[in-house]
Amino acid sequence: MNLKNCTVSVFGLGLLGGSLAWKLSRDRAVKSVAGWSRNPETVRRARETGVIGRACATAEECASLGDVLILAVPIRSMEETARRIRPAAGPAVRAVFDLASTKTEVGRKLAPLWGPCYAGFHPMAGKERGGLENADPALFQGAVCAVVPFENTGEEALGLAEELAEALGGRPLRTGAEEHDAAAACISHFPVLVAASLALLAGEETELHPLVPLLAAGGFRDTTRVAGGLPELGADMASTNGEQIRRLAGKYRAILDALLAASPEELEALLARAARCREAVLAGKGTLSRKRG
Amino acid sequence: MNLKNCTVSVFGLGLLGGSLAWKLSRDRAVKSVAGWSRNPETVRRARETGVIGRACATAEECASLGDVLILAVPIRSMEETARRIRPAAGPAVRAVFDLASTKTEVGRKLAPLWGPCYAGFHPMAGKERGGLENADPALFQGAVCAVVPFENTGEEALGLAEELAEALGGRPLRTGAEEHDAAAACISHFPVLVAASLALLAGEETELHPLVPLLAAGGFRDTTRVAGGLPELGADMASTNGEQIRRLAGKYRAILDALLAASPEELEALLARAARCREAVLAGKGTLSRKRG
């Protein structure tokens, strides 16, 4: 079954679920888009604005309609939502994806419920502000979408996940759950803690030095941007990917200490290396883009 | 003497010196703009593109022309340049400013040379890439410009510094050197080390997890932006503001450790507080803006 012949049911209509539903609806990329949210007002608004084609009053109703089920609820509600909709989902279900930003723990809970239909799906895109009011059908344009198979995941589900990535304007990339979580901890989850620590430090320092907020400029704004986001999201990431985050924290402390102890000449060399590392990491996207034509 | 009747001599035509000279020249905000750079080719290009009105072959020539002298050379060359031009500067000199991003150490060296004419001047603006080729007359638009008096600084020099801030489109703010350096360490210098540590960590991790660069997205790009800049600038900031940076590093480590040790509920609360601190620090600019009308 191709994605374009599927009804896609979206559970959770926040920034990610709302943007995904909106993009599929707007482009008529699938047969129809059904949506459910814990908040009935959100469902009503999503229907009125064309984000979804069919408003569902219950998660069970939403599950009964879909060929492809997409779980876009907070990480802490993933398992509960998945268990709740399992009995209502018909035998027609071809694929079940979660959009969680960590994969190992979520997959451990969801994979046994859904067998070959289940795969992890993580579009590498976000915004400082969440919620349907910030949803944007262009959110995933050019974004890498991690497609994460588990032990029993079937090829049909993986194929649909890759079609979904392309329908969103993104670029599918298959990867294992642990590999995903290690890399995501490095470029997304741990940086949230680093940025939050800087923001808390600036808050403390403002008490001592009232000049701090008066001098704050673009550098501080950018360095702390990911700490301006949704605290519950950060807490979910950290609590389900804690092992990787603690591993990275150890290495990070050693690196920061080396910078602090360096002579000016050594520091200049280390900062030059840091700039090259940053370029290389950010250029990695270009490589993928070229590889995939 | 008002700024508009002054010849302004700019020493160093990189991002800051070039942008400042260009803005004054373009707006005809001063009588004339003379410029010198260690690199004669830079002086030639600055003259050709209208960044400066008068190209100087030597720093001495540039000093002999100016009523207001602006030192926009790297921190490590500040003292040498200041000593070199001192004998050439005429009795007409009304003010001497340095654009260094740290003030205490630079002022300790420059203030005795220039007496009442000297004040520190630090526009809170920058870019990832330096050099005249990235200069932009709009760089300082809306930027706070710290105006830093030293023991012997006279009112005429301070008045000219405030006029200069306004001529650049920025907002002057008088502050002591130590207060400046404490606040700048918090919102600018220490964040460079934090961002560089993250970039180096991502570089190390890429060796273990080739997925890292493929998942890197806007969050990593923004959090590490200030580590993409000029390594010599970072090294200069760190080497002349090391005491403040080390003080902050101690507090920062304790905050990061608390985040790493927090339960998910505690972490959510800490991340919410971090987001509020960030908002408050960034809103500080708005306050200044309103205060000054």
Question: How much is the pLDDT for A105?
Answer: 95
CB-CB contact of B21 with B66 (8 Å): no
Q: How far apart are CA B74 and CA B287, in angstroms?
A: 32
Q: How far apart are CA B13 and CA B37, in angstroms?
A: 6
Question: How much is the pLDDT for B168?
Answer: 98
Please tell me which of the candidates B124, B190, B280 has its beta carbon nearest to residue A203: B280
Higher-confidence residue of B239 and A222: namely A222
Residue B285 confidence class, pLDDT cut points 50, 70, 90: low
**Tell me: the pLDDT tens digits for B124-174?**
988 878 899 999 999 999 999 999 999 999 999 999 999 999 999 999 999
Q: How far is B263 from chain A (nearest CA, A)?
A: 8
Question: How much is the pLDDT for A285?
Answer: 56
* Residues 225 through 244 of chain B touching chain A, CB cutoff 8 Å: 225-229, 231-232, 234-236, 238-239
Say whether pLDDT at A130 is over 70: yes
Q: What are phi and psi of B74, to 5 degrees?
A: -60, 150
Using alpha carbons, list the distances in angstroms from residue A82 to A73, A100, A107, B107: 10, 13, 11, 64
Q: What are phi and psi of A11, to 5 degrees?
A: -105, 110
A264/B227 CB distance under 8 A = no
Q: What share of chain B is helix, strand, coil (3-state, %, to 5)?
A: 60, 10, 30
Q: How far apart are CA A133 and CA A129, in angstroms?
A: 9
A265/B204 CB distance under 8 A = no
Give the tokens for residue A168: 């969103």
**Tell me: the pLDDT tens digits for A278-290?**
999 999 854 444 3
**Tell me: the pLDDT tens digits for A169-201?**
999 999 999 999 999 999 999 999 999 999 999
Please tell me which of the candidates B216, B272, B279 has its beta carbon nearest to residue A281: B216
- Taking alpha carbons only, the member of B201, B270, B208 closest to residue A238 is B270
Q: Which residue in chain B has the smallest CA separation from A263? A: B239
Please tell me which of the candidates B144, B234, B281 has its beta carbon nearest to residue A202: B281
A196/B220 CB distance under 8 A = no
Q: Which residue in chain A has the smallest CA separation from B288? A: A214
Mean pLDDT for the stretch of residues A2-11: 97
Question: How much is the pLDDT for A290?
Answer: 39
B228/A201 CB distance under 8 A = no
Q: How far is A124 from chain B (nearest CA, A)?
A: 7
**DSSP strand E in chain A: where?**
7-11, 32-36, 54-55, 68-71, 95-98, 118-123, 144-149, 171-174
Q: How far apart are CA A195 and CA B194, in angstroms?
A: 9
CB-CB contact of A184 with A102 (8 Å): yes
B202/A281 CB distance under 8 A = yes
Q: How far is A187 from chain B (nearest CA, A)?
A: 5
Give the tokens for residue B195: 């961002």
Using alpha carbons, list the distances in angstroms from residue B146 to B82, B115, B158, B180: 20, 19, 11, 8
Residue B205 confidence class, pLDDT cut points 50, 70, 90: very high
Mean pLDDT for the stretch of residues B46-51: 98
A146/B215 CB distance under 8 A = yes
Percent of chain B predicted with pLDDT > 90: 88
| Stretch among A143-157, B44-58, B125-139, B266-280 having the lowest mean pLDDT | B125-139
B219/A126 CB distance under 8 A = yes
- Taking alpha carbons only, the member of B290, B282, B291, B292 closest to residue B124 is B282
* Residues 70 through 109 of chain B touching chain A, CB cutoff 8 Å: 76
Say whether pLDDT at A15 is over 60: yes
Q: Which of B201, B243, B247, B248 to mutate to probe the A interface, most A CBs <10 Å?
A: B201
Phi-psi region of B152 (alpha: psi -120 to 50; beta: other; left: phi over 0): alpha
Question: How much is the pLDDT for B128?
Answer: 76
| Stretch among A3-7, B121-125, B235-239 having the lowest mean pLDDT | B235-239
Q: How far is A142 from chain B (nearest CA, A)?
A: 10
Say whether pLDDT at A84 is over 90: yes
- Taking alpha carbons only, the member of B31, B113, B117, B39 closest to residue B74 is B39
B213/A284 CB distance under 8 A = yes
B216/A184 CB distance under 8 A = no
With both helix axes pointing from N to C terminus, report the angle between B190-208 and A177-184 in degrees, rounded to the nearest 10. Answer: 160
Please tell me which of the candidates B76, B194, B225 has its beta carbon nearest to residue A198: B194
ipTM of the complex model: 0.89
Q: Which residue in chain B has the smallest CA separation from A222? A: B222
Q: How many residue contacts between A and B have a Cβ separation below 8 Å?
A: 349
B227/A271 CB distance under 8 A = yes
CB-CB contact of A24 with A167 (8 Å): yes
Ordered by where they begin, the domains of chain B are 3-175 (3.40.50.720), 180-261 (1.10.3660.10)
CB-CB contact of B245 with B187 (8 Å): no
Residues of A in contact with B270 (CB under 8 A): 196, 200, 231
Percent of chain B predicted with pLDDT > 70: 97
What strands lie across the sheet with B144-149, from one edge to the other? B54-55, B32-36, B7-11, B68-71, B95-98, B118-123, B144-149, B171-174
